Structure 1
């Protein structure tokens, strides 16, 4: 196969993920996309070589921005970190990207980007890949080798977060700090003479 034929196939595979946004009315649009190994092989990445998935994209266009909601389900072939055996890892991902119209292209956050208002077409292949990659576990353990501890770690890792603000009634912060002091520190303070 010649380089030109390979390049054409690559362009053809990734062009499935082009969305022409120029001239779209301000309303909601739905897109369904499906792909397999060719998708992962055409992207310049080393994380996933094989897999298959279906994505449903809901595009909401307004005068100032485009909101893209992605629901992707499927499975990919991963290599176990313990046994080096390949295994299928299912995933189910719901993510969102907001593209605001501006004078230049810039990524503001993981979820918000500015795109030039003269952009005629966007390609969402990279977003889909990123969301699939983020939905995979950090530890790649074959299902036959997973213990209950591994399962708990995988589940907890998905829900970890930091509470930034809560409007719930709170006790006096000084009282909470006193209650949370480790008894070993109290013993050390006594030795120190405080």
Structure 2
């Protein structure tokens, strides 16, 4: 996957970097998404600012990615452009072997000379793809959605009147009386 000439544009040579902060900028388009051989995003464009903080034991990467990608509407099957923005962080710790510890932390070997940020860029862009892909013409205005959410919260958080006792099923009441009667006898 990372042997592609297109994806080599996203290489950062870390072996020559001193222990301090660096800023990098990357751009990508359809060639980027095609080079990754994936089905999630076919068309799109983005600009990314990557901050790199190198120390003797780790590299901290901060990503600020902005752009648009083409999605297919789940309702009408019409293509539409969806804007996105992602801000994420990644930590690469130096160690004896390559290992993924979590979504945000990986171990890279001390001998690593280059890191390729293409996979991180794609993963962070992919996280912004909505599960429900609706063309903007099918979306409710944000104000209406907020009003509906507020109403739902009012109804869901409403408490029953504390002075009135809840209705008890007569069968449970009879069982409760039997239970209370036995405990008094004993």
Q: Of the candidates 113, 127, 130, which is equivalent to residue 120 of structure 1?
A: 113
Match of 2:57 among 36, 60, 64: 64
Structure 2: gaps spanning 5 or more residues: 150-157, 177-186
The counterpart of 2:36, out of the listed 43, 53, 59, is 43
TM-score w.r.t. length of structure 2: 0.76
CA spacing shift, 1:152–1:11, aligned 2, 3 Å: same
1:14 paired with 2:16, answer: no
Runs in 1 of length 4+ with deviation above 6 angstroms?
Answer: none
Q: 1:103 is matched with which residue? A: 96
Provide the aligned length of Structure 1 versus Structure 2. Answer: 159
TM norm structure 1:
0.73
Structure having the higher Rg: 2
Q: Is residue 2:172 matched to residue 1:192?
A: yes
Q: CA deviation at 1:188?
A: 5.9
- The match for 1:89 among 65, 73, 82 is 82
Superposed CA RMSD in Å reads 2.7
- Residues 1:187 and 1:17: Cα distance change in structure 2 (over 3 Å): farther
Once the two structures are TM-superposed, the CA of residue 152 in structure 1 deviates from its matched residue by 4.1
Distance in structure 1 (CA, Å) of the matches to 2:96 and 2:169: 60
Q: Deviations over 1:94-138 (max 9, x none)?
A: 100000011111111111111111111111101001111111221
